[in-house]
Amino acid sequence: MCAHPNLVLADHPLAGHLLAGLRDTKTSPERFRVLAKRLATVLVLEATRNLAVRDATVRTPLADAPARLIGTMVVAVPVLRAGLGMLETVTELLPDVQVGYVGLERDETTLQPTSYYLKVPQLAGAAVLLLDPMLATGGSAAFAATLLKQRGAADLQLVCVVAAPEGVRRMADEHPDVRVVTAALDDHLNEVGYIVPGLGDFGDRLFGTF
């Protein structure tokens, strides 16, 4: 097991079942999108488990009833393009969520991530969910987390489908305060940076661009 003070594995039978379908090479892009959305539901429920709440009262057809409502703004920020496969789940579960976007690419000279697009709402005081399905080397996720912190994010979680130990270690080193919620901690990265066993390129399988 790879040490990370804030690594959370969504250890739920449904998560394992859905992840098996995502890993399967026989799964079509159409089916892949359905499974990704359903697994994202499990992950987002885990990520929002400790959201701040406030007490309220609602009127039922019979009487007043005590209620607990989400007491903080939630902002979802998918990393383009693969993170879009998790966004619909968040907007359905949290209709009041605000959405930002971060687009990253790798500089061919330095091999480091650079941002080609960044648009986010107010992040200070919000619970921010960074959506990036594959935590491989951790370079993109760590860079995205840095960008969001620079714009005020203090309560930040990374929600991913599969993580590699190398990426988890990088997040622990650079962002030990960021909670990483994932369905699986896989074995290692191969020589070209793919997670093993992984599930291939999430974006390509999601959008059918093989």
Active-site residue set: 106, 110, 201, 204
d(C-alpha 45, C-alpha 93), whole Å:
9
Question: How many whole angstroms separate alpha carbon 42 and alpha carbon 47?
Answer: 9
Alpha helix stretches (DSSP H) within the chain? 13-23, 29-47, 84-93, 139-150, 165-174, 202-207
- The CA distance from 163 to 6, in Å, is 13
Asked whether the bond before 165 is cis by omega within 30 degrees of 0, the reply is no
Query: CA–CA distance from 180 to each of 27, 63, 75, 118, 204 (Å)?
Result: 26, 41, 16, 21, 23
